[in-house]
Amino acid sequence: MVDRNYRAPGIVHRRLLNPLLGTLAGRGVLPGGTAVLVVPGRISGRIRRIPLTPFTSDGRRYLISPRGETDWVRNLRAAGGHGALRAGATERIRATELAPGAAVPVLQAYLRELGRAARMFFDDLTPDSSAAEVAAAAHRHPIFEFTGDGPAP
């Protein structure tokens, strides 16, 4: 059986912060590269939007889910990795999920960049986690490498 991890956001995140951050990120006014992932819902087909901060390492761009098997992860999988990122302008993307083994160095770099803030997002990892600890937890934190498919219409 696969160990599925999902840390649901609290009501303040769901009802207040995500809508507010989504609006600001979509307009491209948030620092740090925060954008809105736009992807069709896997069941309804309705467009879903979630604010995320893409992570760049060694010139490659990633979407990382500290909360685990979230709706955006499942929707992006169901859409075959096709979606869009909006931060002022809209960029179509093609995302490919990394296998847990390939995700380890990316996750380690992400944890180092988060620093002490990693504790807010990861119950099981810190910036000081060993490669073995990160490898053991990588399957609980989906990572997608993405490339741009050009501007969205």
Give me the phi and psi of 142, to 5 degrees please.
-55, 140
Please say whether the beta carbons of 7 and 73 come within 8 A. Answer: no
Number of separate domains in the chain: 1
Confidence of residue 49 (pLDDT cuts 50, 70, 90): very high
**CA atoms of 132 and 1, how far apart (whole Å):** 21
Q: Would you say residue 2 lies in a domain?
A: no
Determine the structural domain holding residue 67 and report its residue range: 11-151
Average pLDDT, the chain: 86
Residue spans of alpha helices (H) in 27-79: 71-78
pLDDT on residue 143:
97
pLDDT on residue 28:
73
Please say whether the beta carbons of 83 and 73 come within 8 A. Answer: no
Residue with token string 């006014």: 29
HSE-CB of 61 using CA atoms within 13 angstroms: 13
Name the pTM for this structure: 0.85
Q: For the segment 80-113, what is each residue's pLDDT rounded down to a tens digit?
A: 999 999 998 999 999 999 999 999 999 999 999 9
Q: Within 10 A of 134 (CB to CB), how many other CB atoms are there? A: 23
Average pLDDT over residues 127-141: 93
CATH for 58: 2.30.110.10
